[in-house]
Amino acid sequence: MLSRPQQILLKRAQREAALTDAEYRDALETVAGCRSSKDASMTDRHLDLTLGYFEAIYWRKVDAGELQPSGSVTAVFRQRGFWAAKNPAQQTSRDRFLLSAVERDIGAFESALSALGFGPAYCQGIRQKVTRGLLNAHAQFLYRAALRRTLAAKQTAVAA
């Protein structure tokens, strides 16, 4: 779900692109699959995509002479192509933050398993089994969960 400042940014972008409420809601539905910025399914990625969509509309209107480009430093569309180029890897700063936390957890779990006598080859076996060759962020979440379960089981076995 988008934060309040993100929702305000979308509404500012709507005003700058001179979109009616119906056009705004149709654009949200087209890009994000919902008709409101308050919808729980709206993500940071949807925000970036929607702003890129509004940016294209804005600059088309400017090029056609329907709108004058804003000279304000607080304008949402002050630089042509900014939103379209943002996060081309489809990864938001929140995604990067979560992934870095997952990678820290993985390192800690691998170290704890190593201290119990289960080395890198053991961890690699776990990774191969749970990720089945996936090389994306989701694979890292799966691997972390498997390491957490394995470490808990091994610590319980050592304690008994």
Query: Over the stretch 131-144, which tens digit does the pLDDT of each residue have?
Result: 887 766 778 888 99
Answer yes or no: do 114 and 134 share one domain.
Answer: yes
Residues spanned by the domain of 79:
4-90
In contact, 16 and 26? CB cutoff 8 Å:
no
pLDDT of residue 92: 65
Answer yes or no: do 14 and 81 share one domain.
Answer: yes
Structure pTM?
A: 0.56
Answer yes or no: do 18 and 56 share one domain.
Answer: yes
pLDDT of residue 88: 60
Of the three residues 47, 65, 90, the one that is the final residue of a domain is: 90
Of the three residues 37, 55, 90, the one that is the final residue of a domain is: 90
Give, in order, the Cα–Cα distances in Å from 137 to each of 5, 13, 90, 129: 27, 31, 12, 16
| Residues whose CB is less than 8 angstroms from the CB of residue 6 and which lie 6 or more positions away in sequence, other chains included | 37, 44, 47
Alpha-carbon distance of 160 to 158, in angstroms, equals 6
Answer yes or no: do 116 and 54 share one domain.
Answer: no
Q: How many CB atoms lie within 10 A of CB 64?
A: 8
Counting the structural domains of the chain, the total is 2
- Residue 116 in this model has a pLDDT that exceeds 80: yes
Alpha-carbon distance of 146 to 144, in angstroms, equals 5
121's tokens: 């080859």
- Residue 89 in this model has a pLDDT that exceeds 70: no
- Residue 87 in this model has a pLDDT that exceeds 70: no
